[in-house]
A and B are shown apart, each in its own frame.
Chain A
Amino acid sequence: MSRFTSALTIPAEKLEKFQTAAHIGGIVAAALGIVSVLLPWSYAHEALDDVTYSAAPSPLQYNYIGLAVIAVVLFAAPLVLRKPGKARDWVAWNTGARFAGYGLLATGFVGVAAIGIESGGLINVDPGGWLALVAGVVGAVSGLVLFRSPEPSMGRIKTNTIVQIIAIAGGLAAVLFAAAFALGLSGAGAFLFYLTFAAFLALTLVRTGVFGWFAKCAADNKKILVLAAFFVAFVFPFTQNGSDANMSIATQVLIFSATALGLNIVVGLVGLLDLGYIAFLGAGAFTSAVLSGSLYSHIHWHPPFIVTVLISGCVSSFLGLIIGTPTLRVSGDYLAIVTLAFGEIFRITMNNLDGSDGPNITNGSNGINNVPELSFLGFNFGDAHQIFGIQVGRFANYFWLMLLVLAVIMVVFVNLNRSRIGRGWVAIREDELAAEAMGVNTFGLKILAFAGGAFLAGLAGAVKAHYDVSVTPDQYVFLESAFLLAAVVLGGMGTVMGVLIGATILKLLPEKLRFFSDYRLMLFGLLLVFMMRFRPEGIIADERRQLEFHAEDEELAEDVQEELIAYHDHFNPDAVTTEDLR
């Protein structure tokens, strides 16, 4: 990558005299952007979310104005803050301004392209649209000319706890609002426009260092953050006014995330590549469906759901043991292919247990249909309910259940990661021979991870069977395993946040961008290759993991070391300080 960027870099002395001009250029660009919004962007009503009116911006355009205002602030501030001082050093004004400029260009470009495609030709783009594109070009060029700022120091500001909590609440509320808004957009163009906007807004905030401050707030109030995040997720169904379409997507995202988190234990923490993970989800789903009392099931024992869930988990982890015990003894590469073969065995077996090629348990390729709705203490998950006067439908019920399952999986994941077991796993991942030499029970820990991950997938599968109503073998093909793996890799192996983001992206994009559904798989294959090539640690990187992929990065190594020492001191306050040992 650096080869390409260095070719673009212009010597600093040439840029020197253009700095002020660039700041002003950026302000002009943002102003042009705001003016463009007051003009109609398109002649056609169907493009974006109807941007045909003058002096009456559409909701999407209001978002665009927000980006432009941020760009104005970032470009203008260094002109005002001439003297070095706290306010000047806290925020990386220039770097942020550069990304805001890129953001103006990207949103302007996507906007014009979307209008051109959705309304059948660029002829439908009004002067406002072209002006937005021009504003973007000016903004991006201005941003490119700016020098980079020094490292922002906002992450070191000491803030009152109450302010921090308010900031967390505000941030999460913004996320909730953005998610609800994005899901409410109907057209693919509008969704892409919003996505571009959100991505560049986030990137700008990260680069200015504002995120550093948020990260500090979050780190200081971890429990509050987690509770607040769950509260936000919990109230999400209320923002949907009983709309089933979005809740259905949201529930699918949760099921997918829960499964991906289970896989993340195996792949992210221990570094074992499991290519048949979907089979464990399938085993859970089939077990739960067979025991659910569906008319298509031939086993007439219907335990309550709590029992079924545990049985499903146990069946999955038992399968995990069967497949893991022989393969975990040999090199990791075998595991990948054997699990892949196991995934195929599972699918074929489920297909064959239909009464003609084997005992009739799963109804073969027809699968088990009409899985009854869950019912807990008289609360039927299939019915719509009125809560606080707001109608919440079937999908919202399952959404909340999955949220609970996800919470359980996250608690297990985080606690394991921070325990003796988790450290053993990381040691195995980093160097199995060395770990074994240090007395880590590598085989036992690997089996534990493998069976444990399978158990979690079994739990998710048990809910999925009821949610999907029918369970068929062709839902559990290799590609689904590959998708799960992609969620883990894309988001960041070994992290919770990253995997949640990766899973959301991989489930949400295909739902919202139907027009590229034919190319979805191909792009997904390319994505895996490019991720491995350019950012193997994923969107959100686990720092230690990142170090494994960038072994020569000294600065990163020091960061990681500091963090580990701080962590150690935090948990062993009486121990000899690690400073002394150095």
Chain B
Amino acid sequence: MDLFWQQLINGLSLGALYALIAVGYTVVYGIVQLINFAHGEIFMTGAFGAFATWVVMGSPSSMSWQVAVFGMLPVMILGGIIVSVTMALLMERLAYRPLRDAPRLAPLISAIGISVFLQEFVRLFFGDIPGMPDSKRAIPFPNIEGISGRSVSFGNVNVQISALFTLGALVVCTAFLWFYVNRTKTGRAMVATSQDPDTARLMGINVDRVIMAAFAVGAALAAIAGVAQGMRVGNIDFRMGFLAGLKAFTAAVLGGIGNINGAVVGGLVLGVVESMATTFIPGQFGSPAWKDVWAFVLLILVLVFRPQGLLGAKVVDRA
């Protein structure tokens, strides 16, 4: 039974990571019906932005955990958010906005182009920024005293502090999102636009700004996920966005794309399924090598049996 609890908490923390990224897919999709394929790369630039912020602060290494957690970490997260939000807004302005009335294939292909471009751009040029290490190989993520490599035990269940951080970040972000969508003017405008963009425009809503806000919110959450991933794994890498983005999209579909709560639920379910599969599927197919396969098989199964997702999508087939 300990194994079950252990895998449950592992899965939940992995799922929280997916959920943070998935929100970005779902918010953008809900408003412009665009799968922002490059969102995984936004997550990656967020992690690199946080790392760069740490370097700019002078690569501080030894400090008490209070300073690390309440001083350095928030600054790093803020730096990551600034970088990822800038990237997302640039992307929206330069690549997606001109294609808003184009056939649906066009922005999707454009998104693939951006994704490849961003990966390669970071790989080739991150190291050229003064003070930054060569990014062609994985870069070790700074050690956050009190979080990195630390864990607490409940009986036989061992919980990484970074996992708790990811879960906590998800809780805080979900609460923030709830407040933002339901209680602020921009958030209400977002809901209105996703329901009917034309009427929203007639009601005086600046649809362009709402779309930008959607990209920005998604990017901010992705940057937090990027920092969480850096602390969990201990290093960051220009390729980290591809698989994470794919999984997060799976999570978004799982929960019902376009539905913010769905993205959170979908992410958690996907994470738990993934970690349970490697433990409880007997035989050779239960080995960790198959874990990604099970995640994608889940995606296909959901599309067969419940294409609207677990919580129901706002739009399933608006082709």
Question: CB of A234 within 8 A of chain B?
Answer: no
Question: CB of A558 within 8 A of chain B?
Answer: no
Question: CB of B4 within 8 A of chain A?
Answer: no
Residues of A within 8 A of B289 (CB): 348, 351-352, 357
Separation in Å of the A524 CB from the closest CB of chain B? 6
* A356–B284 CB distance below 8 A: yes
Which listed segment binds A: B115-123, B210-218, B222-230? Answer: B115-123
Interface residues of A in 249-307 (CB under 8 A from B): 267, 271, 273, 275
The contact of B296 among A329, A341, A525, by CB within 8 Å, is: A341
The contact of A489 among B109, B115, B319, by CB within 8 Å, is: B109
Residues of B within 8 A of A271 (CB): 103, 105
* A529–B102 CB distance below 8 A: no
Residues of B within 8 A of A485 (CB): 109, 112
The contact of B292 among A336, A348, A359, A433, by CB within 8 Å, is: A348
Residues of A within 8 A of B103 (CB): 271, 536, 548-549
Residues of B within 8 A of A336 (CB): 35, 37, 108
Q: In this complex, which of B98, B105, B108, B115 has the most chain A Cβ atoms within 10 angstroms of its Cβ?
A: B105
Tell me the count of chain B residues lying within 8 A, CB to CB, of chain A. 50
- Complex CA gap A566/B300 in Å reads 45
Interface residues of A in 515-530 (CB under 8 A from B): 518-519, 521-522, 524-529
* B124–A352 CB distance below 8 A: no
Question: CB of A327 within 8 A of chain B?
Answer: yes
- Complex CA gap A536/B119 in Å reads 23
Question: CB of B267 within 8 A of chain A?
Answer: no
- Complex CA gap A330/B121 in Å reads 34
Residues of B within 8 A of A525 (CB): 112-120
* Nearest opposing residue in chain B for A478, CB measure: B242
Question: CB of B160 within 8 A of chain A?
Answer: no
Question: CB of A323 within 8 A of chain B?
Answer: yes
* B303–A532 CB distance below 8 A: no
* B124–A522 CB distance below 8 A: yes
Which listed segment binds A: B56-64, B66-74, B143-151, B245-253? Answer: B245-253
- Complex CA gap A3/B122 in Å reads 31
The contact of B303 among A326, A482, A528, by CB within 8 Å, is: A326
Interface string of A433-468 (1 = CB under 8 A from B): 100000000000000000000000000000000000
Interface string of B235-262 (1 = CB under 8 A from A): 0000000110010011001000000000
- Complex CA gap A275/B105 in Å reads 12
Report B's interface with A, CB cutoff 8 A. 33, 35, 37, 95, 98-99, 102-110, 112-121, 124, 242-243, 246, 249-250, 253, 284-285, 287, 289-290, 292-293, 296-297, 299-300, 303-304, 307, 316-319
Interface string of A324-337 (1 = CB under 8 A from B): 00110111111011
Q: In this complex, which of A275, A341, A351 has the most chain B Cβ atoms within 10 angstroms of its Cβ?
A: A341
* A333–B108 CB distance below 8 A: yes
* B303–A330 CB distance below 8 A: yes
Question: CB of A533 within 8 A of chain B?
Answer: yes
* A334–B102 CB distance below 8 A: no
- Complex CA gap A338/B301 in Å reads 11
Residues of A within 8 A of B246 (CB): 337, 340-341, 344
- Complex CA gap A273/B35 in Å reads 12
Separation in Å of the A489 CB from the closest CB of chain B? 6
Separation in Å of the A298 CB from the closest CB of chain B? 15
* Nearest opposing residue in chain A for B294, CB measure: A345
The contact of B99 among A329, A332, A482, A532, by CB within 8 Å, is: A532
* A344–B292 CB distance below 8 A: yes
The contact of B109 among A273, A344, A349, A357, by CB within 8 Å, is: A273
Separation in Å of the A502 CB from the closest CB of chain B? 13
* A338–B300 CB distance below 8 A: yes
* A323–B300 CB distance below 8 A: yes
* Nearest opposing residue in chain A for B295, CB measure: A341
Residues of B within 8 A of A344 (CB): 243, 246, 292, 296
Question: CB of A432 within 8 A of chain B?
Answer: yes
Report A's interface with B, CB cutoff 8 A. 267, 271, 273, 275, 323, 326-327, 329-334, 336-338, 340-342, 344-345, 348-349, 351-352, 356-359, 432-433, 478-479, 482, 485, 489, 518-519, 521-522, 524-529, 531-533, 536, 548-549
- Complex CA gap A61/B79 in Å reads 55
- Complex CA gap A221/B209 in Å reads 55
Separation in Å of the B273 CB from the closest CB of chain A? 14
* Nearest opposing residue in chain B for A275, CB measure: B112
- Complex CA gap A349/B297 in Å reads 12
* B109–A528 CB distance below 8 A: yes
Given contacts A348-B289, A357-B290, A532-B110, contact A326 B300 (CB under 8 A): yes
Residues of B within 8 A of A330 (CB): 303, 307, 316-317
* B35–A518 CB distance below 8 A: no
* Nearest opposing residue in chain B for A430, CB measure: B103
Residues of A within 8 A of B33 (CB): 333
* Nearest opposing residue in chain B for A352, CB measure: B289
* B249–A337 CB distance below 8 A: yes
- Complex CA gap A334/B115 in Å reads 18
Separation in Å of the A335 CB from the closest CB of chain B? 9
15 A-B interface contacts by CB (under 8 A): A271-B103, A271-B105, A331-B317, A333-B319, A336-B37, A341-B300, A345-B293, A345-B296, A352-B290, A478-B242, A485-B109, A521-B116, A524-B113, A525-B115, A525-B120
- Complex CA gap A68/B113 in Å reads 38
Residues of B within 8 A of A348 (CB): 289-290, 292-293
Residues of A within 8 A of B293 (CB): 345, 348-349, 352
* Nearest opposing residue in chain A for B113, CB measure: A528
* B113–A527 CB distance below 8 A: yes
Separation in Å of the B124 CB from the closest CB of chain A? 6
- Complex CA gap A432/B105 in Å reads 14
The contact of B319 among A342, A432, A478, A479, by CB within 8 Å, is: A432
* A519–B124 CB distance below 8 A: yes
- Complex CA gap A334/B299 in Å reads 10
Q: In this complex, which of A337, A522, A536 has the most chain B Cβ atoms within 10 angstroms of its Cβ?
A: A337
- Complex CA gap A336/B29 in Å reads 14
The contact of B250 among A341, A349, A358, A521, by CB within 8 Å, is: A341
Residues of A within 8 A of B292 (CB): 344-345, 348
- Complex CA gap A357/B296 in Å reads 18
Residues of A within 8 A of B102 (CB): 532, 536, 549
* Nearest opposing residue in chain B for A479, CB measure: B116
* Nearest opposing residue in chain A for B95, CB measure: A529
Residues of A within 8 A of B250 (CB): 337, 341
In the complex, besides A331-B319, A528-B116, 5 extra interface pairs with C-beta distance below 8 angstroms are: A333-B33, A333-B35, A358-B284, A485-B109, A519-B124
Residues of B within 8 A of A478 (CB): 242
Residues of B within 8 A of A529 (CB): 95, 110, 113-114, 117
- Complex CA gap A354/B14 in Å reads 28
- Complex CA gap A529/B111 in Å reads 7
The contact of A338 among B115, B284, B303, by CB within 8 Å, is: B303
- Complex CA gap A377/B108 in Å reads 47
Residues of B within 8 A of A432 (CB): 319
- Complex CA gap A323/B120 in Å reads 30
Given contacts A333-B35, A478-B242, A533-B98, contact A522 B120 (CB under 8 A): yes
* B112–A329 CB distance below 8 A: no
Residues of A within 8 A of B106 (CB): 532, 536, 549
- Complex CA gap A352/B113 in Å reads 30
Separation in Å of the A350 CB from the closest CB of chain B? 11
Q: In this complex, which of A271, A333, A359, A518 has the most chain B Cβ atoms within 10 angstroms of its Cβ?
A: A333
